[in-house]
Amino acid sequence: MSKNFETSAIRINHSQSNQKEHSSALYLTSSFTFDSAEDARATFADEMEGNIYSRYANPNSTDLIQKLCEAEGTEDGIATASGMAAMFGSIAALLESGDHIIASRSLFGSTHQLLTRVFPKWGITSTYGDISDFENWGKLVQKNTKMLFIETPSNPGLEIIDLEKAGQFAKEHNLIFVVDNCFATPYLQQPAKWGADIVTHSATKYIDGQGRVLGGLILGKKEFIKDVQFFARHTGPAISPFNAWILSKSMETLAIRMDRHCDTALKVAKYFENNSSVGRVKYPFLPSHPSYNIAIKQMKLGGGILTLTLDGGLERAKKFLDHLNMISLTANLGDSRSIITHPASTTHSKLSEEEREKVGIVDGLVRVSVGLEHPDDIISDISQALEKSK
Protein backbone atom coordinates (compact mmCIF):
# COMPACT_ATOMS: atom_id res chain seq x y z
CA MET A 1 0.00 0.00 0.00
CA SER A 2 1.14 3.54 -0.78
CA LYS A 3 2.75 5.41 2.08
CA ASN A 4 0.91 8.56 1.04
CA PHE A 5 -1.76 9.48 3.59
CA GLU A 6 -4.53 10.29 1.10
CA THR A 7 -4.04 7.08 -0.86
CA SER A 8 -3.93 4.64 2.02
CA ALA A 9 -6.90 6.37 3.73
CA ILE A 10 -8.88 5.59 0.57
CA ARG A 11 -7.43 2.31 -0.60
CA ILE A 12 -6.97 0.23 2.55
CA ASN A 13 -9.96 -2.06 2.73
CA HIS A 14 -10.22 -5.11 4.91
CA SER A 15 -12.18 -7.34 2.61
CA GLN A 16 -14.35 -7.64 -0.44
CA SER A 17 -17.18 -10.15 -0.42
CA ASN A 18 -17.93 -12.52 -3.30
CA GLN A 19 -20.43 -9.91 -4.56
CA LYS A 20 -17.41 -7.82 -5.68
CA GLU A 21 -18.84 -4.57 -4.26
CA HIS A 22 -16.67 -1.50 -4.91
CA SER A 23 -17.67 0.46 -1.79
CA SER A 24 -17.02 -1.63 1.36
CA ALA A 25 -19.88 -3.84 2.48
CA LEU A 26 -21.57 -3.32 5.84
CA TYR A 27 -21.37 -6.39 8.08
CA LEU A 28 -24.39 -6.09 10.34
CA THR A 29 -23.92 -9.34 12.18
CA SER A 30 -23.38 -10.12 15.85
CA SER A 31 -21.48 -13.34 15.26
CA PHE A 32 -19.65 -15.31 12.56
CA THR A 33 -19.92 -19.00 11.70
CA PHE A 34 -17.24 -21.70 11.78
CA ASP A 35 -16.82 -24.44 9.21
CA SER A 36 -16.34 -27.07 11.87
CA ALA A 37 -16.21 -27.63 15.62
CA GLU A 38 -12.44 -27.89 15.31
CA ASP A 39 -12.25 -24.50 13.52
CA ALA A 40 -14.37 -22.99 16.29
CA ARG A 41 -12.00 -24.33 18.92
CA ALA A 42 -8.90 -23.18 17.02
CA THR A 43 -10.31 -19.68 16.38
CA PHE A 44 -11.17 -19.24 20.07
CA ALA A 45 -7.69 -20.49 20.97
CA ASP A 46 -6.08 -17.86 18.66
CA GLU A 47 -4.50 -20.67 16.65
CA MET A 48 -6.53 -19.70 13.58
CA GLU A 49 -7.43 -16.27 12.22
CA GLY A 50 -11.10 -15.46 11.92
CA ASN A 51 -13.99 -13.43 13.22
CA ILE A 52 -15.86 -14.78 16.22
CA TYR A 53 -18.24 -12.20 17.60
CA SER A 54 -18.67 -8.46 16.94
CA ARG A 55 -17.78 -7.56 20.54
CA TYR A 56 -14.31 -8.92 19.69
CA ALA A 57 -13.94 -7.78 16.10
CA ASN A 58 -16.01 -7.16 12.99
CA PRO A 59 -14.80 -6.60 9.40
CA ASN A 60 -15.99 -2.98 9.54
CA SER A 61 -14.15 -2.17 12.76
CA THR A 62 -11.06 -4.00 11.48
CA ASP A 63 -11.21 -1.84 8.36
CA LEU A 64 -11.32 1.36 10.43
CA ILE A 65 -8.51 0.21 12.74
CA GLN A 66 -6.24 -0.67 9.80
CA LYS A 67 -6.77 2.74 8.22
CA LEU A 68 -6.06 4.55 11.48
CA CYS A 69 -2.97 2.45 12.22
CA GLU A 70 -1.59 3.28 8.80
CA ALA A 71 -2.39 6.98 9.31
CA GLU A 72 -0.91 7.20 12.82
CA GLY A 73 2.05 4.89 12.22
CA THR A 74 0.92 2.57 15.03
CA GLU A 75 1.05 -1.23 15.12
CA ASP A 76 -2.42 -2.20 16.27
CA GLY A 77 -5.55 -0.91 17.94
CA ILE A 78 -9.21 -1.22 18.83
CA ALA A 79 -12.25 0.84 17.86
CA THR A 80 -14.73 1.86 20.53
CA ALA A 81 -18.31 3.13 20.74
CA SER A 82 -17.26 6.65 21.69
CA GLY A 83 -14.19 8.74 22.34
CA MET A 84 -14.72 8.48 26.08
CA ALA A 85 -14.76 4.67 25.90
CA ALA A 86 -11.32 5.02 24.30
CA MET A 87 -10.01 7.43 26.96
CA PHE A 88 -11.39 5.20 29.73
CA GLY A 89 -10.15 1.97 28.15
CA SER A 90 -6.63 3.25 27.51
CA ILE A 91 -6.22 3.94 31.22
CA ALA A 92 -8.30 1.12 32.73
CA ALA A 93 -6.66 -1.58 30.60
CA LEU A 94 -3.09 -0.55 31.33
CA LEU A 95 -3.06 0.60 34.95
CA GLU A 96 -3.98 -0.99 38.24
CA SER A 97 -4.93 0.09 41.70
CA GLY A 98 -2.10 2.03 43.33
CA ASP A 99 -0.79 3.46 40.04
CA HIS A 100 -0.43 7.18 39.41
CA ILE A 101 -0.87 9.31 36.26
CA ILE A 102 0.69 12.63 35.32
CA ALA A 103 -1.68 14.49 33.01
CA SER A 104 -1.68 17.85 31.30
CA ARG A 105 -4.13 20.08 33.14
CA SER A 106 -5.93 21.16 29.97
CA LEU A 107 -8.07 18.15 29.15
CA PHE A 108 -11.44 17.45 27.61
CA GLY A 109 -14.11 17.92 30.33
CA SER A 110 -15.08 14.24 30.62
CA THR A 111 -11.44 13.10 30.69
CA HIS A 112 -10.99 15.44 33.64
CA GLN A 113 -13.99 13.76 35.34
CA LEU A 114 -12.41 10.34 34.72
CA LEU A 115 -9.16 11.36 36.38
CA THR A 116 -10.65 13.24 39.31
CA ARG A 117 -13.87 11.31 40.03
CA VAL A 118 -13.86 7.86 38.43
CA PHE A 119 -10.36 6.38 38.67
CA PRO A 120 -9.73 7.45 42.28
CA LYS A 121 -12.60 5.06 43.21
CA TRP A 122 -10.29 2.23 42.11
CA GLY A 123 -7.13 3.63 43.64
CA ILE A 124 -5.69 5.17 40.47
CA THR A 125 -4.66 8.73 41.19
CA SER A 126 -3.36 11.57 39.09
CA THR A 127 -1.54 14.88 39.28
CA TYR A 128 -1.91 17.71 36.77
CA GLY A 129 1.02 19.49 35.23
CA ASP A 130 0.79 23.00 33.80
CA ILE A 131 2.04 23.33 30.26
CA SER A 132 3.75 26.63 31.09
CA ASP A 133 5.77 24.77 33.72
CA PHE A 134 6.65 21.72 31.60
CA GLU A 135 10.37 21.96 32.49
CA ASN A 136 9.47 21.09 36.08
CA TRP A 137 7.21 18.08 35.52
CA GLY A 138 9.99 15.88 36.90
CA LYS A 139 8.87 17.04 40.35
CA LEU A 140 5.45 15.47 39.78
CA VAL A 141 6.86 11.97 39.31
CA GLN A 142 6.15 9.59 42.19
CA LYS A 143 7.43 6.07 42.79
CA ASN A 144 4.10 4.71 41.51
CA THR A 145 3.78 6.97 38.43
CA LYS A 146 3.08 4.76 35.42
CA MET A 147 1.49 6.97 32.77
CA LEU A 148 1.79 10.36 31.07
CA PHE A 149 -1.56 11.40 29.56
CA ILE A 150 -1.74 14.54 27.42
CA GLU A 151 -3.94 16.32 24.93
CA THR A 152 -2.42 18.65 22.32
CA PRO A 153 -3.85 20.95 21.06
CA SER A 154 -6.07 20.95 24.14
CA ASN A 155 -9.83 21.37 24.19
CA PRO A 156 -10.81 24.19 24.36
CA GLY A 157 -7.75 26.24 25.39
CA LEU A 158 -5.62 25.19 22.38
CA GLU A 159 -2.58 24.70 24.56
CA ILE A 160 0.26 22.97 22.74
CA ILE A 161 2.65 20.53 24.36
CA ASP A 162 6.01 19.74 22.79
CA LEU A 163 5.49 16.10 21.81
CA GLU A 164 9.21 15.49 21.39
CA LYS A 165 9.98 16.71 24.92
CA ALA A 166 6.97 14.88 26.37
CA GLY A 167 8.16 11.69 24.66
CA GLN A 168 11.65 12.09 26.11
CA PHE A 169 10.19 12.78 29.56
CA ALA A 170 8.03 9.64 29.40
CA LYS A 171 10.99 7.54 28.32
CA GLU A 172 13.27 8.92 30.99
CA HIS A 173 10.75 8.06 33.73
CA ASN A 174 9.55 4.83 32.13
CA LEU A 175 5.95 6.04 31.73
CA ILE A 176 3.34 4.79 29.28
CA PHE A 177 2.89 7.84 27.03
CA VAL A 178 -0.72 8.42 25.94
CA VAL A 179 -1.80 11.24 23.59
CA ASP A 180 -5.41 12.20 22.85
CA ASN A 181 -4.95 13.22 19.19
CA CYS A 182 -8.57 14.21 18.58
CA PHE A 183 -8.03 17.89 17.71
CA ALA A 184 -5.14 17.37 15.30
CA THR A 185 -6.12 14.07 13.63
CA PRO A 186 -3.33 11.89 12.18
CA TYR A 187 -3.33 14.07 9.07
CA LEU A 188 -1.85 16.99 11.02
CA GLN A 189 0.17 15.24 13.71
CA GLN A 190 1.38 11.73 14.48
CA PRO A 191 2.28 11.41 18.17
CA ALA A 192 3.75 7.91 17.69
CA LYS A 193 6.59 9.55 15.75
CA TRP A 194 7.50 11.39 18.95
CA GLY A 195 7.36 8.32 21.13
CA ALA A 196 3.68 7.99 22.09
CA ASP A 197 2.94 4.41 23.17
CA ILE A 198 -0.82 4.94 22.83
CA VAL A 199 -2.80 7.37 20.68
CA THR A 200 -6.49 7.87 21.46
CA HIS A 201 -9.25 9.45 19.39
CA SER A 202 -12.74 10.66 19.57
CA ALA A 203 -13.63 9.69 15.99
CA THR A 204 -16.90 11.55 16.56
CA LYS A 205 -15.12 14.76 15.66
CA TYR A 206 -12.99 15.19 12.52
CA ILE A 207 -12.80 11.52 11.57
CA ASP A 208 -16.58 11.50 11.04
CA GLY A 209 -16.45 15.17 10.12
CA GLN A 210 -20.15 15.48 9.49
CA GLY A 211 -21.62 15.19 12.97
CA ARG A 212 -23.35 11.85 12.43
CA VAL A 213 -21.95 9.08 14.62
CA LEU A 214 -19.95 8.48 17.79
CA GLY A 215 -16.78 6.45 17.81
CA GLY A 216 -13.33 6.21 19.31
CA LEU A 217 -9.96 4.53 18.86
CA ILE A 218 -7.11 3.26 20.98
CA LEU A 219 -4.01 2.73 18.84
CA GLY A 220 -0.44 1.94 19.71
CA LYS A 221 2.31 -0.53 20.32
CA LYS A 222 1.32 -4.21 20.19
CA GLU A 223 2.66 -4.89 23.69
CA PHE A 224 0.09 -2.45 25.13
CA ILE A 225 -2.74 -3.06 22.67
CA LYS A 226 -2.71 -6.75 23.63
CA ASP A 227 -3.91 -5.74 27.11
CA VAL A 228 -6.35 -3.21 25.68
CA GLN A 229 -7.87 -5.92 23.46
CA PHE A 230 -8.28 -8.29 26.38
CA PHE A 231 -9.92 -5.52 28.41
CA ALA A 232 -12.27 -4.53 25.56
CA ARG A 233 -13.29 -8.07 24.66
CA HIS A 234 -14.51 -8.67 28.17
CA THR A 235 -15.91 -5.27 29.11
CA GLY A 236 -17.67 -4.53 25.81
CA PRO A 237 -17.01 -0.98 24.56
CA ALA A 238 -17.16 -2.23 20.93
CA ILE A 239 -18.14 0.15 18.15
CA SER A 240 -21.21 -0.74 16.10
CA PRO A 241 -20.39 -2.05 12.60
CA PHE A 242 -22.53 0.71 11.11
CA ASN A 243 -20.59 3.47 12.87
CA ALA A 244 -17.28 1.84 11.94
CA TRP A 245 -18.41 1.69 8.31
CA ILE A 246 -19.33 5.41 8.33
CA LEU A 247 -16.02 6.34 9.95
CA SER A 248 -13.95 4.22 7.59
CA LYS A 249 -15.70 5.90 4.64
CA SER A 250 -15.03 9.30 6.23
CA MET A 251 -11.30 8.57 6.39
CA GLU A 252 -11.36 8.75 2.58
CA THR A 253 -12.03 12.50 2.77
CA LEU A 254 -10.14 13.39 5.97
CA ALA A 255 -7.13 14.95 4.23
CA ILE A 256 -9.13 17.12 1.87
CA ARG A 257 -11.51 18.20 4.64
CA MET A 258 -8.70 19.05 7.06
CA ASP A 259 -6.92 21.11 4.41
CA ARG A 260 -10.05 23.23 4.03
CA HIS A 261 -10.88 23.39 7.77
CA CYS A 262 -7.35 24.61 8.50
CA ASP A 263 -7.22 27.06 5.62
CA THR A 264 -10.53 28.67 6.60
CA ALA A 265 -9.70 28.66 10.34
CA LEU A 266 -6.47 30.56 9.64
CA LYS A 267 -8.39 33.09 7.51
CA VAL A 268 -10.98 33.59 10.28
CA ALA A 269 -8.29 33.87 12.97
CA LYS A 270 -6.36 36.47 10.96
CA TYR A 271 -9.51 38.44 10.22
CA PHE A 272 -10.52 38.81 13.86
CA GLU A 273 -7.01 39.24 15.25
CA ASN A 274 -7.30 43.00 15.00
CA ASN A 275 -11.00 43.38 15.79
CA SER A 276 -11.46 45.92 18.58
CA SER A 277 -14.19 44.01 20.43
CA VAL A 278 -12.31 40.70 20.49
CA GLY A 279 -9.84 40.73 23.35
CA ARG A 280 -7.83 37.87 22.04
CA VAL A 281 -7.74 35.38 19.16
CA LYS A 282 -5.95 32.11 19.78
CA TYR A 283 -5.01 29.77 16.95
CA PRO A 284 -1.98 27.44 16.84
CA PHE A 285 -0.68 28.78 13.53
CA LEU A 286 -0.91 32.49 14.44
CA PRO A 287 2.56 33.75 15.45
CA SER A 288 0.86 35.33 18.50
CA HIS A 289 0.08 31.84 19.91
CA PRO A 290 2.43 31.31 22.88
CA SER A 291 3.54 27.93 21.50
CA TYR A 292 3.58 28.87 17.81
CA ASN A 293 7.10 27.50 17.33
CA ILE A 294 6.14 24.11 18.75
CA ALA A 295 2.91 24.05 16.74
CA ILE A 296 4.70 24.60 13.44
CA LYS A 297 7.31 22.00 14.36
CA GLN A 298 4.87 19.17 15.10
CA MET A 299 1.71 20.02 13.16
CA LYS A 300 1.26 20.10 9.38
CA LEU A 301 -1.42 22.83 9.65
CA GLY A 302 -3.07 24.67 12.55
CA GLY A 303 -6.31 22.69 12.87
CA GLY A 304 -9.94 23.71 12.56
CA ILE A 305 -10.49 25.24 15.99
CA LEU A 306 -9.82 28.74 17.25
CA THR A 307 -10.92 30.62 20.33
CA LEU A 308 -12.09 34.19 20.71
CA THR A 309 -12.07 35.95 24.06
CA LEU A 310 -14.79 38.58 24.03
CA ASP A 311 -14.54 41.75 26.05
CA GLY A 312 -17.52 41.83 28.39
CA GLY A 313 -17.29 38.33 29.90
CA LEU A 314 -20.21 35.93 30.34
CA GLU A 315 -23.05 38.34 29.45
CA ARG A 316 -21.34 39.45 26.25
CA ALA A 317 -20.54 35.85 25.26
CA LYS A 318 -24.17 34.80 25.74
CA LYS A 319 -25.46 37.77 23.77
CA PHE A 320 -22.95 37.01 21.01
CA LEU A 321 -24.11 33.38 20.78
CA ASP A 322 -27.77 34.43 20.67
CA HIS A 323 -27.11 36.74 17.73
CA LEU A 324 -25.49 34.15 15.47
CA ASN A 325 -27.63 33.50 12.39
CA MET A 326 -25.91 30.64 10.57
CA ILE A 327 -23.30 29.16 12.90
CA SER A 328 -24.74 26.42 15.11
CA LEU A 329 -24.96 26.42 18.89
CA THR A 330 -24.17 22.83 19.75
CA ALA A 331 -21.65 20.87 21.78
CA ASN A 332 -19.92 19.01 18.95
CA LEU A 333 -16.87 20.09 16.97
CA GLY A 334 -15.08 19.00 13.82
CA ASP A 335 -18.27 19.12 11.76
CA SER A 336 -18.73 20.41 8.20
CA ARG A 337 -21.04 22.96 9.84
CA SER A 338 -19.37 25.74 11.84
CA ILE A 339 -20.14 25.54 15.54
CA ILE A 340 -19.59 27.97 18.39
CA THR A 341 -19.56 26.78 21.99
CA HIS A 342 -19.25 28.62 25.28
CA PRO A 343 -17.13 26.19 27.35
CA ALA A 344 -17.52 27.91 30.74
CA SER A 345 -21.30 27.37 30.77
CA THR A 346 -21.43 24.02 28.91
CA THR A 347 -18.62 21.51 28.21
CA HIS A 348 -16.44 22.69 31.11
CA SER A 349 -19.19 23.84 33.50
CA LYS A 350 -18.49 20.90 35.83
CA LEU A 351 -15.06 22.31 36.59
CA SER A 352 -14.83 24.79 39.45
CA GLU A 353 -14.17 28.41 38.53
CA GLU A 354 -10.66 28.00 39.88
CA GLU A 355 -10.05 24.87 37.76
CA ARG A 356 -11.36 26.69 34.69
CA GLU A 357 -9.17 29.69 35.33
CA LYS A 358 -6.08 27.49 35.54
CA VAL A 359 -6.72 26.18 32.03
CA GLY A 360 -7.58 29.55 30.56
CA ILE A 361 -11.35 29.06 30.23
CA VAL A 362 -12.40 32.58 31.09
CA ASP A 363 -16.08 33.62 30.97
CA GLY A 364 -15.67 35.54 27.71
CA LEU A 365 -14.03 32.63 25.86
CA VAL A 366 -15.89 31.05 22.94
CA ARG A 367 -14.65 28.05 20.95
CA VAL A 368 -15.12 28.25 17.20
CA SER A 369 -15.10 24.99 15.26
CA VAL A 370 -14.62 26.29 11.76
CA GLY A 371 -16.67 24.31 9.25
CA LEU A 372 -16.56 23.89 5.51
CA GLU A 373 -18.92 26.73 4.57
CA HIS A 374 -17.49 29.60 2.51
CA PRO A 375 -15.02 31.59 4.69
CA ASP A 376 -16.79 34.88 3.87
CA ASP A 377 -20.07 33.58 5.30
CA ILE A 378 -18.41 32.41 8.52
CA ILE A 379 -16.64 35.76 8.96
CA SER A 380 -19.78 37.72 8.19
CA ASP A 381 -21.91 35.79 10.71
CA ILE A 382 -19.34 36.27 13.48
CA SER A 383 -18.93 39.96 12.56
CA GLN A 384 -22.62 40.78 12.73
CA ALA A 385 -23.04 38.91 16.04
CA LEU A 386 -20.06 40.79 17.51
CA GLU A 387 -21.58 44.07 16.37
CA LYS A 388 -25.06 43.29 17.75
CA SER A 389 -23.75 42.04 21.09
CA LYS A 390 -21.73 45.17 21.84
Ligand X SMILES: *Cc1c(COP(=O)(O)O)cnc(C)c1O
Query: For residue 31, what is the DSSP state?
Result: B
State the nearest-atom distance from the C-beta of 169 to ligand X, in Å.
Answer: 21
**Cβ partners under 8 Å of residue 379, min gap 6:** 267, 268, 271, 272
The smaller minimum CB distance to ligand X, of residues 247 and 266, is found at 247
State the nearest-atom distance from the C-beta of 176 to ligand X, in Å.
Answer: 18
Q: Compute CA distances 62 → 58, 76, 229, 269, 338, whole Å.
A: 6, 10, 13, 38, 31
HSE-up of residue 90 (Cα within 13 Å, Cβ side) = 35
Q: Compute CA distances 315 → 67, 252, 369, whole Å.
A: 45, 42, 21
Query: Which spans of this chain sit near ligand X (rule: CB under 6 A)?
Result: 82-84, 87, 108, 110-111, 151, 155, 180, 182-183, 202, 204-205, 214, 216
State the nearest-atom distance from the C-beta of 182 to ligand X, in Å.
Answer: 4
The smaller minimum CB distance to ligand X, of residues 58 and 347, is found at 347
The smaller minimum CB distance to ligand X, of residues 84 and 366, is found at 84
Answer for the pair 267, 306: CB distance below 8 angstroms, yes or no: no
Strand order in the sheet with 339-341: 278-282, 305-310, 365-369, 339-341
State the nearest-atom distance from the C-beta of 17 to ligand X, in Å.
Answer: 30
State the nearest-atom distance from the C-beta of 24 to ligand X, in Å.
Answer: 22
The smaller minimum CB distance to ligand X, of residues 240 and 389, is found at 240
The smaller minimum CB distance to ligand X, of residues 162 and 180, is found at 180
Alpha helical stretches, state H, the chain: 5-11, 37-44, 59-72, 83-92, 109-113, 163-172, 185-188, 222-235, 241-251, 254-273, 292-298, 313-322, 353-358, 375-388
Closest residue by beta carbon to ligand X? 83
The smaller minimum CB distance to ligand X, of residues 43 and 116, is found at 116
State the nearest-atom distance from the C-beta of 38 to ligand X, in Å.
Answer: 40
